[in-house]
Structure 1
Amino acid sequence: MEARLEIKLEQPNPLFTRWLERWLHEAEQRNRKSQHKLRQALQALRNYPLPLYSGRECAVLRGFGTTLCQLIDEELRQHRLLASQAKLNMSATAASSSAEYQEQVQQVVKVVQRKQKQQQLQKPKKLTKKAQQELAAAEERERVVHMPAGSYRIVLLVDTQETSGKNKRILDQTRSYLQTLNVEHEVRRLTVGDFLWIARDAAGNELVLPYIVERKRMDDLASSIRDGRFHEQKHRLHQCGLPHIIYLIEDYGDNEQLGLPLESLLQALVNSRVQSADIQVVRCDNHYRSMCYLSGVGAALQQLYVDAAKTLYSVDKPQLARAQADSCRGQEGLLKFRSLYEDSARNAQLTVREVFVQQLLQLHSLSLDRALAIVERYATPRLLLDAYAACQSETEARQLLAGLCCGPLQRPLGDKLSQCIHQFYTNEFKAG
């Protein structure tokens, strides 16, 4: 069997790249606003692996607007005109140059074929344990899981932090209560939420049912609101992909000495319920009542999936919303537990948009709905700074976000928050 020769272009579009580099250099020297779009277009062109033959074809890449594509086409016409004139002058030497070029290509091909034969004779290197694990994980994520009706059972997963405490002598009430209620459960490290349910078949495949529970005692709720964890946790729960989020709130004795007024905590829960249609808030008198509620939800899921003989299959997070439509037809697409675990990990690679949202949530009184409304208008901090720079005056810049509508009620962001955000992103840090 003959070895296949693969040739990969290092620079598929060197001519267009050279023009963009020149225009970017001129824009940077003159401090033009077009330098940001040119830099974005240049990076997209360098990453594109295939040759492009006109400015119109460049329109598929990020950063290439109508003006830039027309500019490339005009430059290309000038280049071809000069090339055709030069071709007339070089016709005498074309034949000899072509023969020399063909000879050089043949020499390169022979060298490459010789190296390929040597590599085939060499013993392939053994993959490291880490590389084998990464390869196995990638294959597992690509594999489609199919669970016919009657081939799986439902198991409640409990986060390890729910069953451990600083005092190891304290009885593990969570597991004790669940065992008393005959709830099939398993303690496992969860990267988002405190409880969730999975469907597991005999082969060990696990699909996550579309319900996730975040349990908070009243004093913990007050603490999370004070330090900003409450909004950040809500954002991570929204981002995990599961459509039904349940906040399970336990009373703390008489709900006294919580650190915040009880009315403020209740208002925060009401706001979460009103502002997000996928969030359900459930209050319980104590920890035992919370476990009884989880037992009831598990029984309802048993009827909804196992008793109803529903067929389950795995989907990726972008396909999850569309797959929920199949639920009424006796089948439903769900996320794999491994995919949910890895995608929801705190150290997962975040997009600039997600980092921007988390950054905004650190500001006082800036809720998740308000942060999402800002990011919907200005997807990155750079775009927001450019919008500030385009304002005619300092006053206009401070009021830039005041009229931005947020949340289901479409209320304006307001002057105070608009000025706070402007100050946060425009004031320079000065060392003492």
Structure 2
Amino acid sequence: METRLEVLLREPNPLFTRWLERWLREAERREQKSQFKLRQALESLKSYPLPLSSGRDCSILRGFGGTLCQLIDEELRHHRSVQLVPQEAEAQERYEQQVQAVIRKVQEKQLEHQTRQNKSDRPRKPTKKDLAELAALEERERVVEMQPGRFQLLLLVDTQETSGKNKRVLDQTRSYLESLGARHEVRRLTIGDFLWVAQDQEGNELVLPYIVERKRMDDLASSIRDGRFHEQKHRLQHCGLQHIIYLVEDYGDNEQLGLPLDSLQQALTNAKVQAGVRVVRTANHFRSMSYLAGMSRSLGQIFAGKKLHSVDRGALDKSTCLLTHSDLGLLKFRALYEDSAKNAQLTVREVFVQQLLQLHSLSLERAMAIVERYPTPRCLLDAYAECADQKQARLLLSGITCGPLERPLGDKISQCLHEFYSTHFR
């Protein structure tokens, strides 16, 4: 493995930087459109770590078009025609000496590394971490098959469901399930509050295509206010399980919830119609556990005569797990656990969606419509930079349609998003 020595100069291109800053100030004073490209070019130049000798060399950087490169070359020729004062000549000489010293140091490091590599060409012995990662990969790729009658169903309960927010008051989840005869186990889940697994005698576990998110009405209102509701719904839709159930409990007379009851009912209706979520309303906690116990009995009857086998999430689709089939493809619990972890690696597109969901008035449908047009924040910022003026930039997103009725986002949301991204990324 080569050793790289990173050399960072404080200001590799001071002349070009000073000229761009002057041109940018003039463009801003005159409110010219060129200010956006100049600002982009200046940021690229300040981020570039190596010296550039001409405007043509600058063409590799973002924001430097043919006109700007030609302007730099003309300014450079004029600058060279003026005789350097002694201080500048001396500073230039010191700078060149420093660059040559750095080059010699890099060459010495490369020679030293090559000498060490020639002395030790033995293959590296795998560490315990390497062996553990290899074993985990082999376990994940191993195909699991379960024959009819050779497995039993188990209801998994998230650890957060076994105790209330007040440590002195224990939640009744376990005691209710035990009294109702539902076979269950408390375990940390990275997605949802309840789900069912098929477990064989060897300890293999396949996840049934049902997942339950339990919410009390006051918790539902709180999650809508702080944006967790849309973020959770988005994660549930992309976890790989087909049937998503929202188990919603009444909170007394559903008063003092923090949001109007009509708003909560509308949010549940939207989830049901637009996202295909099944909403189940119960009167209290005991009724919720009764529903889960009944689900356990029903699923036990449905899956008793099925043959089950494991599939990867990438190969999973709706046709893989139709209950009318005798052979069903299911996800492994370990794969679901790791892929659904909040700290799992996300694509830029997925992070962009989650970021948008934290903004006020942006539902999942609106966020997905924006990301469909602009997959990353960089694409959105580039689109803002290409706008003719600030008014066009503020209204850039207003015409994007979303939802079954294809309603536009509107001017207000478009202006809020422009203000947010133009304030935090410049």
TM-score (norm 2): 0.71
The verdict on how the C-alpha distance between 1:285 and 1:326 changes in structure 2, with shifts beyond 3 A counting, is closer
Equivalent-residue separation in structure 2 for 1:257 and 1:27 (angstroms): 60
The verdict on how the C-alpha distance between 1:395 and 1:160 changes in structure 2, with shifts beyond 3 A counting, is same
Residue by residue over 1:120-173, the C-alpha shift from the partner in whole angstroms, topping out at 9 and shown as x without a partner, is: 8xxx74632x33332221111111111122211111000000002344443441
Equivalent-residue separation in structure 2 for 1:238 and 1:24 (angstroms): 48
Equivalent-residue separation in structure 1 for 2:413 and 2:395 (angstroms): 9
Mapped pair 1:127 → 2:127 = yes
Instruction: State the SS of the aligned residue for 1:203.
Output: coil
The verdict on how the C-alpha distance between 1:257 and 1:27 changes in structure 2, with shifts beyond 3 A counting, is same
The verdict on how the C-alpha distance between 1:261 and 1:137 changes in structure 2, with shifts beyond 3 A counting, is same
Q: Which of the numbers 59, 79, 83 marks the counterpart of 1:26?
A: 59
Shift of residue 428 of structure 1? Answer: 4.7
Q: Which of the numbers 386, 400, 404 marks the counterpart of 1:404?
A: 400
Shift of residue 344 of structure 1? Answer: 0.8
Equivalent-residue separation in structure 2 for 1:292 and 1:235 (angstroms): 27
Instruction: State the SS of the aligned residue for 1:338.
Output: helix
Aligned to 1:234: 233
Aligned to 1:147: 146
Aligned to 1:360: 356
Mapped pair 1:310 → 2:306 = yes
Equivalent-residue separation in structure 2 for 1:321 and 1:143 (angstroms): 20
Mapped pair 1:200 → 2:196 = no
Shift of residue 317 of structure 1? Answer: 1.2
Shift of residue 233 of structure 1? Answer: 1.0
The verdict on how the C-alpha distance between 1:390 and 1:429 changes in structure 2, with shifts beyond 3 A counting, is closer
Equivalent-residue separation in structure 1 for 2:395 and 2:409 (angstroms): 10
Aligned to 1:288: 286
Between 1:395-404 and 1:320-329, the stretch displaced more is: 320-329
Shift of residue 363 of structure 1? Answer: 0.8
Aligned to 1:72: none
Shift of residue 328 of structure 1? Answer: 3.3
Equivalent-residue separation in structure 2 for 1:400 and 1:271 (angstroms): 26
Aligned to 1:344: 340
The verdict on how the C-alpha distance between 1:322 and 1:285 changes in structure 2, with shifts beyond 3 A counting, is closer
Residue by residue over 1:53-80, the C-alpha shift from the partner in whole angstroms, topping out at 9 and shown as x without a partner, is: xxxxxxxxxxxxxxxxxxxxxxxxxxxx
Q: Which of the numbers 418, 422, 427 marks the counterpart of 2:423?
A: 427
Equivalent-residue separation in structure 2 for 1:402 and 1:204 (angstroms): 53
Instruction: State the SS of the aligned residue for 2:255.
Output: coil
Shift of residue 248 of structure 1? Answer: 0.5
Equivalent-residue separation in structure 2 for 1:226 and 1:382 (angstroms): 28
Please tell me whether the aligned partners of residues 240 and 340 of structure 1 are also in contact (alpha carbons under 8 angstroms): yes
Please tell me whether the aligned partners of residues 242 and 318 of structure 2 are also in contact (alpha carbons under 8 angstroms): no
Please tell me whether the aligned partners of residues 315 and 323 of structure 1 are also in contact (alpha carbons under 8 angstroms): no
Please tell me whether the aligned partners of residues 323 and 332 of structure 1 are also in contact (alpha carbons under 8 angstroms): no
Question: What pairs with 1:18-417 in structure 2 (closer than 5 Å)?
Answer: 26-28=59-61, 31-32=64-65, 119=122, 125=125, 127-128=127-128, 130-277=129-276, 279-306=277-304, 309-321=305-317, 324=320, 327-417=323-413
The verdict on how the C-alpha distance between 1:246 and 1:135 changes in structure 2, with shifts beyond 3 A counting, is same
Residue by residue over 1:275-318, the C-alpha shift from the partner in whole angstroms, topping out at 9 and shown as x without a partner, is: 112x1111100000001111122122112211xx1111111111
Residue by residue over 1:73-125, the C-alpha shift from the partner in whole angstroms, topping out at 9 and shown as x without a partner, is: xxxxxxxxxxxxxxxxxxxxxxxxxxxxxxxxxxxxxx99x977xx48xxx74
Equivalent-residue separation in structure 2 for 1:313 and 1:266 (angstroms): 39
Equivalent-residue separation in structure 1 for 2:56 and 2:303 (angstroms): 60
Please tell me whether the aligned partners of residues 230 and 364 of structure 2 are also in contact (alpha carbons under 8 angstroms): yes
The verdict on how the C-alpha distance between 1:134 and 1:414 changes in structure 2, with shifts beyond 3 A counting, is same
TM-score (norm 1): 0.70
Please tell me whether the aligned partners of residues 162 and 170 of structure 2 are also in contact (alpha carbons under 8 angstroms): no
Shift of residue 326 of structure 1? Answer: 5.9
Equivalent-residue separation in structure 2 for 1:126 and 1:317 (angstroms): 29
Between 1:156-165 and 1:387-396, the stretch displaced more is: 387-396
The verdict on how the C-alpha distance between 1:375 and 1:326 changes in structure 2, with shifts beyond 3 A counting, is same
The verdict on how the C-alpha distance between 1:329 and 1:258 changes in structure 2, with shifts beyond 3 A counting, is closer
Equivalent-residue separation in structure 1 for 2:399 and 2:154 (angstroms): 47
Equivalent-residue separation in structure 2 for 1:410 and 1:333 (angstroms): 35
Instruction: State the SS of the aligned residue for 2:316.
Output: helix
Structure 1 alignment gaps of length 5 or more: 1-21, 34-110
Equivalent-residue separation in structure 2 for 1:339 and 1:202 (angstroms): 19
Equivalent-residue separation in structure 1 for 2:340 and 2:56 (angstroms): 41
Equivalent-residue separation in structure 2 for 1:427 and 1:257 (angstroms): 37
Shift of residue 27 of structure 1? Answer: 3.5
Aligned to 2:81: none
Code of the aligned partner of 1:412:
P
The verdict on how the C-alpha distance between 1:422 and 1:326 changes in structure 2, with shifts beyond 3 A counting, is same
Equivalent-residue separation in structure 2 for 1:259 and 1:27 (angstroms): 54
Aligned Cα root-mean-square deviation (Å): 2.6
Structure 2 alignment gaps of length 5 or more: 1-54, 67-116
Please tell me whether the aligned partners of residues 156 and 298 of structure 1 are also in contact (alpha carbons under 8 angstroms): yes
Please tell me whether the aligned partners of residues 157 and 194 of structure 2 are also in contact (alpha carbons under 8 angstroms): yes
Residue by residue over 1:164-223, the C-alpha shift from the partner in whole angstroms, topping out at 9 and shown as x without a partner, is: 234444344101110111001000000110000001111100011111100000111111
